[in-house]
């Protein structure tokens, strides 16, 4: 291509960018008007069901090169900028910076938001309950390691509502300043990461070196950077934060390793066409109580997607997910009959059926 032809294309891109900027600013003006009306009525600024409906609509209209993932990435950032221009809000998450929970939070709330890394799941709930943060992001389950008990306990003890779920594909790296695997004498990581990468460690002969559990994979990267003969199992982002060279990518044993996160806040969502509801259930200690409870869901035509039993402060409870919104007529039937046994945790846009 000639230099003249290349310049013409660059000029065309500049013209499109100029028009995009005008249109985005125009969108922000309308967002401001919507925000003013919501402020008068006390409505929530973050509406996951509305954002999903917009992305669904745009995908249905799309006839270009963008796929749904690209459309979602682009517009979620625009949504996040819109919210922050109207009302900058803090997002508390299970830290530290660079953790998978941090990635889940940024993926939903964008780069402009103010993030508060918190050292414990209980601390995240406490920050949101005390209004120091508007939203909290915490893990609820991993496809390999199951439900996060601390999150269940906090959902039981606090009155916050689940307003969204986020699912991340979890990929681990082996990062180190060592040039060869044989130079590695110790590995730092979170205990769960060692479990998720055990086959890889055995295959490369690192199952016999010292494995040192630490509270986060990001801290593991920091420690490995400063100690000769050390390595870290950490996320790609964690390694990049500390400029720790990556020796192997995607070392997890299962290629479908996923973690599901909840976003919690102090409001409830309206209905969408694709809702999921989560509840905690404490049933009477009588024969057939659980069978009767589950049979009522079947009779109401409600699809249960998850049921897990847990012990919270010595009491046996069930964590249950099902398709539908709390304001659906068939769900109301269940709540009316078993309301004393149910703690409603939230209805929110369904990202996945299950992980």
Contact assessment for residue 347 and residue 279, using Cβ atoms and an 8 Å cutoff? no
- pLDDT value at position 40? 57
- pLDDT value at position 351? 85
DSSP class of residue 255?
A: T
Place of tokens 């669904």: 56
What percent of the chain shows pLDDT beyond 70? 96
Model pLDDT for residues 32-55, shown as the tens digit of each residue: 787 677 655 555 667 777 888 888
Q: How far apart are CA 218 and CA 228, in angstroms?
A: 17
What confidence tier does 260 reach under pLDDT thresholds 50, 70, 90?
A: very high
Report which of 2, 236, 260 is spatially closest to residue 144, judged by C-alpha positions.
260
Q: How far apart are CA 142 and CA 104, in angstroms?
A: 13
Taking residues 250-264, report their average pLDDT. 92
Residue 90 is encoded by which pair of tokens? 């803090």
Q: Is pLDDT at 272 greater than 90 in this prediction?
A: no
Distances (CA, A) of 70 to 58, 64, 65, 188: 11, 11, 9, 35
- pLDDT value at position 269? 87
Q: How far apart are CA 198 and CA 58, in angstroms?
A: 42
DSSP H or E run through 57: helix 48-61
For each of the domains in the chain, give its residue range(s) and CATH number, in order of start: 3-81 (1.20.59.10), 90-169+258-349 (3.30.70.260), 173-248 (3.40.190.10)
- pLDDT value at position 329? 94
Model pLDDT for residues 60-77, shown as the tens digit of each residue: 999 989 999 899 888 888
What percent of the chain shows pLDDT beyond 90? 57
Model pLDDT for residues 200-248, shown as the tens digit of each residue: 999 999 999 999 999 889 999 999 999 999 999 999 888 998 999 999 9
Residue 300 is encoded by which pair of tokens? 């109401």
Environment class of 228 (CB within 10 Å of its CB; exposed 0-12, middle 13-18, buried 19+): exposed
Distances (CA, A) of 301 to 80, 142, 296, 324: 36, 28, 9, 10
Contact assessment for residue 153 and residue 126, using Cβ atoms and an 8 Å cutoff? no
Average pLDDT, the chain: 89
């Amino acid at each position: 291509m000639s230099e003249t032809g290349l310049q013409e294309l660059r000029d065309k891109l500049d013209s499109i960018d100029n028009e995009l900027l005008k249109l985005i600013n125009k969108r922000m003006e309308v967002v401001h008007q919507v925000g003013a009306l919501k402020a008068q009525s006390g409505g929530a600024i973050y509406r996951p069901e509305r954002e999903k409906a917009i992305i669904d609509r745009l995908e249905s209209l799309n006839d270009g090169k963008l796929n749904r993932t690209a459309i979602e990435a682009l517009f979620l950032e625009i949504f996040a900028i819109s919210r922050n221009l109207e009302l900058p809000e803090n997002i508390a998450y299970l830290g530290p910076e660079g953790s998978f929970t941090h990635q889940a939070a940024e993926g939903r709330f964008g780069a402009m938001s103010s993030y508060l890394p918190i050292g414990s799941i209980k601390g995240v709930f406490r920050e949101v309950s005390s209004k120091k943060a508007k939203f909290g992001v915490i893990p609820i389950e991993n496809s390999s390691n199951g439900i996060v008990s601390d999150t269940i306990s906090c959902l039981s003890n606090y009155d916050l509502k689940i307003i969204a779920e986020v699912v991340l594909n979890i990929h681990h790296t082996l990062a180190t300043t060592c040039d060869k695997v044989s130079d590695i004498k110790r590995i730092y990581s979170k205990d769960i990461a060692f479990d998720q990468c055990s086959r890889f460690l055995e295959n490369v002969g690192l199952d016999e070196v010292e494995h040192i559990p630490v509270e986060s994979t990001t801290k593991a990267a920091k420690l490995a950077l400063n100690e000769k003969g050390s390595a870290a199992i950490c996320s790609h982002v964690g390694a990049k934060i500390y400029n720790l060279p990556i020796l192997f990518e995607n070392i997890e044993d299962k290629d479908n390793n996923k973690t599901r996160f909840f976003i919690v806040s102090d409001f409830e969502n309206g209905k969408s066409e694709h809702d999921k509801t989560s509840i905690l259930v404490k049933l009477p200690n009588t024969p057939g109580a659980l069978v009767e409870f589950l049979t009522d869901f079947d009779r109401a035509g409600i699809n249960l997607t998850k049921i897990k039993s847990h012990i919270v402060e010595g009491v046996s409870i069930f964590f249950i997910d099902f398709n539908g919104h709390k304001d659906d007529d068939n769900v109301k039937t269940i709540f009316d009959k078993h309301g004393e046994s149910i703690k409603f945790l939230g209805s929110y846009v369904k990202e996945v059926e299950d992980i």
